[in-house]
Amino acid sequence: MLSEAERQKACEILLEAERIKKPALQLSKTFPGITIEDAYAIQSLVNEAKVKAGSKVIGNKIGLTSKAMQQSSQIDEPDYGVLHDYMVIEDGAKVPFERFIVPRVEIELVFVLGKALKGPGIGLLDVLRATEYVVPAIEIIDARVQNPRKITDTVSDNGAAAGLIVGGRAVGPMDIDLRWVGGLLYRNADIEETGVAAGVLGHPAMGIAWLANKVGRFGTVLEPGRVMLSGSFIRPVWAQKGDTLRADFGPLGSLGVQFV
């Protein structure tokens, strides 16, 4: 367990790494005693500093939602981070590559809440009833710490949250079987990854339920209007300067972003 001074120092390290666009030494090496509890406390400090600087929290992201990713990170549950308004990028936008350090791209579904969710005790149907609509998304993830990262590094680093593109066709949560939403991710002309949304805990809404129950223990409520990235159902794909990344969700449409 770290002291409050060490947590604050870790926060400053991450903010500086993001500012200068250079990954810092892993926090797990700088602070060998760091725990998951420390990591979430550091994440909170980073997000509080960003809000004080003028950003607005718009939602959350859930990560490590597949068994393979959990095993590779040596954990037995997902993790989460916070989405800020400055992370939102228009569908089809040209984004300066230098805005990021080592960007990677994932495809997933966004749930926009119409009603509040307060755990514990939230299940699949509770999430579907509380959701106003579901829409395809591309998430850009980035790393403010060096590789190889441990789970405490990733959690401290806000789950690697960096960018969010929403596009395609929004649907009601009960209109289709969300488990079978499929996605193709193209880099330029080549398909790099494919997957279906059931890869996220069996149903993408289960990631939202997990988070509501996780934070509900501390009295936190997922409020209406909150944008919830439910978790990727493909492996992350590296992006290079000049690349166009396009996600094709079939009947739900497509969206893309170009790194320039």
What per-residue confidence (pLDDT) applies to 219?
A: 87
What per-residue confidence (pLDDT) applies to 76?
A: 60
| Class for the domain spanning 56-259 | alpha beta
Taking only the tens place, the pLDDT of each residue in 66-106 is 655 555 555 567 899 999 999 999 999 999 999 999 999 99
Q: Is the pLDDT confidence value at 128 over 80? A: yes
Q: What tokens does 24 get?
A: 């810092």
Note if the pTM is more than 0.85.
yes
What per-residue confidence (pLDDT) applies to 64?
A: 74
Provide mean pLDDT across the span 125-135: 98
Taking only the tens place, the pLDDT of each residue in 21-56 is 999 999 999 999 999 999 999 999 999 999 999 999
Which among 171, 176, 110, 172 is positioned nearest to 137, based on CA atoms? 110
Taking only the tens place, the pLDDT of each residue in 153-178 is 999 999 999 999 999 999 999 999 99
Q: Where are the domains of the chain?
A: 56-259
- For residue 222, give the DSSP letter: B
Q: Is the pLDDT confidence value at 111 over 90? A: yes
What per-residue confidence (pLDDT) applies to 167?
A: 98
Which among 141, 161, 171, 166 is positioned nearest to 57, based on CA atoms? 161
Query: Omega of the bond prior to 103 within 30 degrees of 0, cis?
Result: no
What percent of the chain stands above pLDDT 70?
96
Taking only the tens place, the pLDDT of each residue in 56-66 is 999 999 987 76
What per-residue confidence (pLDDT) applies to 66?
A: 63
CA–CA dist 98, 113 (Å, integer)? 33
